[in-house]
Structure 1
Amino acid sequence: MKNKIVGIIFLIISINIYSQQSKIGKADREYDKFAYVDAIKTYESVFNSGYKSIDMLQKLANSYYFKADLQKAAQWYFELFKLTKDLEPEYYYRYGQSLKGIEDYKRADEILSVFNENSGNEIRAKLLLAQKAYLLDIEKNSGRYLMQNTSINSEKSDYGTTFYKNKIVFASARNSSVLGNTKHSWTGESFTNLYSSILELDGNFSFPKRFEKKLSTKYNESTPVFTKDCKTIYFTRNNFNNGRKGKDKNKITLLKLYKASLERGKWKNIIELPFNSDQYSVAHPALSPDEKTLYFASDMPGTIGNSDLFKVSIELDGTYGKPINLGNVINTEGRESFPFITSENELYFSSDGHPGLGGLDVFVTKVEKNHRFDDILNVGEPINSSKDDFGFIINNIDEKGFVSSNRDGGLGNDDIYQFDEIKKIEYNCEQSLFGLLMDHFTGAPLGNAKVLLSDISFNIVGEVVTDLNGKFRFGMLDCNSRYYIKAEKRDYDTYEISAFTTNQTKEIFLPIRLEKTIQKIKEGDDLAKVFTINKIYFAFDKYDIRADVEADLAIIMNIMKEYPTIKIDVRSHTDSRQSDKYNNILSEKRAQSTIAWLVQHEVNPSRLTGKGYGEIQLTNKCADNIECTEEEHKANRRSEFIITSI
């Protein structure tokens, strides 16, 4: 009977385990198809039944993270980290970002510091190290906008605004489609269509209406941009055109960019751009002021992170050049998306890879004439929050604009906010860096040495030669940046060090010590002479190590650590005052106190011998009964460090 009961219990447990594994398998398939809403329901149900695993919690937390629900993501990453800390660095980054989403910045910085330690050569880690005071920098840029929610929002997602004549055009998941109430498995909402609203002179909005049914499909349309003549539109749509739905190798329908032209009041000639692909997404177009360049976001080959910003030239004949990645000054291993170019050639974009308040933050940089970018600046609050903030646009004439966000207090999942910019952001914060190059052991200045300066991508941006006093200077560096300095000199080992600039205009001093590559030493040499170290002098009638000579003894200590096979004989001496017997005892004590100091500082005593020589090896004329100055007597009160074995 007992065996029968045990068998029944085992059978029940087996059925339960099989049932849970079956549910998890189904949820995993949904997760792989980006059907996060359904995957979440299953994962949470399994967790609440008492089952949990590292893989399941990773996917559950990721599902909320990718849905931009950072509060729930933080909750499930917390459960994951309770189960194990042995996780890939990316999970530390996502957990840190999720903690920012609930405004737990202290804990977020602690988690992100672990990410920094384990992330290797990642751009995000370098940025976090270079911008340790990022919250203070964000605070400096905050308070420059007056912002409020708009009347065009619905209880669903509304986002991605653009200017069009006297209207704004945006994407909305409100269900007014004649094509039915198809739900998007990623968000759980209806697919988005383009809507427009007239922007009245008094600042009010007309009731939003479908922008153009010809542009609508049963899948997502979003983030449009228009040419200045309002005759061409670029917009984002799922991979669907002319009734055909495209899929990647995993049978997922991704995003593409489309173009249409206005003819006799109707949008026609809907075509996809030639650099699209079924195998990657291309989305969120933006036009340069001269309309010769199209910016967009993509995860196409050559992408650094989850999505990068690219640009492509628009030729006079209507063809397109080859897409160019904007590089790792802009792009990180995270998400860079939603570009917008102002009439003043400023690039606004959203990122969760640059240090921010949580989720996607809005950043801005100037596009210089040489196609390089100025400082990457977080635009601060209230544009940015602890949630996702994106889709920033602004009219430089009246300084009015719009931004999208899923922050707390909104009407729908994503809402559109309008703002007035009351103060321009400050660019071109600069610093100068200067330094002193010295010998590692002696502190002597090293002239005629080459010093190289590299940026965060290890591109050399400066090269100088030290003067006779070992001094060097680099002028006018970018603020909030990390630089690498490399010093080179003949007969010395090359040395590299990093330096950080903040957002304060000032000078940074950087002392650098170089070690000699090869020291020609032999038995019988005095280490102090070989390395040009100040002699270790003693006070009159004293044998204790004075504080002012400890630095010189530390050089001896470092040399012995650098050359672990060297053995030395410490030979201590006195001046001629006092009797021979007294001086022999005193010098012996000086030798032993010198040895004791070295042993105390981790030099193996087996490598040290010592002897006191009293006054029998004077360095000058100051023998018995010879009148000498105190300085002349001092020259005889010394210790020597003679090499006995190499």
Structure 2
Amino acid sequence: MKNSPTYRTILTTVFLLVCLNITAQESYNNGFSSQNDSQYQKLKSLGYTEKEIYEDLGNANFLLEKYENAAFWYKKLSELEGNKALGSNYQKRYQFAMEQTADIHTVANNGNDWLEQIKEDYQVKRAFEARQASQSVTSNRRDFDFNPSYRSQSLEYLVEYERNKAFIGVPHAKRSDMEETYESPIAVTSDGQTAYFSKAIYLKPVKGIFSKKELIQKIYRTDKINGQWKNVREITVAPKHASAMHPAISEDGKRLFFASNMPGSFGEYDIYVADISYRGNAGKAKNLGTKVNTKKNDLYPRIMEDNTLVFASEGREGYGGLDLYMTQVGQNNVDYATNLGSPINSSKDEYSMYVMADRGIGYVLSNRGKNKNKIQEVAFSYENGTQSKADERESNLRAALNNKLQIDYTTSVFEDK
């Protein structure tokens, strides 16, 4: 069943939407928004005709109950046909989408099985194409396999696919507020052969038979085999009903840092570390203790040179929102976290930072712009002699980023036994 062309076609239609991160359309009467233009251009670059693009995006949005978006694309399809009436099934979906957008909620689905209807449309189209002797059906068809292995050389594509699987077919599915604003990057080992990422899954709560499923974050690993990313599997570092997310891997690939709200955490989310065995399994997770973690959220760990851990925290008195902190993490000890100061931090949220040590510059990922939901890269210099060296926090930053500096570790062991 799952290998049939029909099954692959309809799931691919849905995935075309999810992979492109489609959001609600502001107005389908005012042409392309930047989001719609991006979706259009991506599919256009893959060689699809305008009709194919309008059909696919209309159907995909419809199946995910994004009715305003679906109406937008069905309207474009109608205009392409010279404002003629659409095919019977397309016209039904267009009308239904318009009714939902106008808050005219029809009973159930008017007896329509939308999934079967769309599958039927694609079957008819393929039958027509098969009669075209001038070109092979397989040379330019859209019903490629829903399994992304044919694009597995793209790690980003694989992770996007994995992260969005939980939301396919779930009415009104929504990512967590944290992941809506800034989704943690993929952590790749220094040899480029292993990657870690977090994604959401839905689980039934332990208590409450009739309770809705909960959105839980889990960490997954994938390996690059013969040039392709394969063997996606969960790395168990937290109890079943606790979240683990934002993985960061040490340079030697032997330690995995992450954020979790598992029992025993000091706050909402704490930073943890787990050893990775040569077989790729994770050992017992250790909490980095109160030198790092607070009673609120501690998130987005990132390992830099010489065991320097940078993370975001909202549990200390800082500049506002999430601030970036750094600490030194040895094999069995950890130093006190230090605020990286201004201009690294601001009154808004800072999520992570990247540096180019050989050039003395880097950038911070922050929402300090006018739109708090938009992440910006803010450049900075940490070796500029004109900066005030009296600022102790900036001095700490320069010390943390100087890979030639030797720092003595404290004797404090991780506080979670």
Provide the TM-score with structure 2 as the length reference.
0.48
Structure in which a larger fraction of residues adopt strand: 1
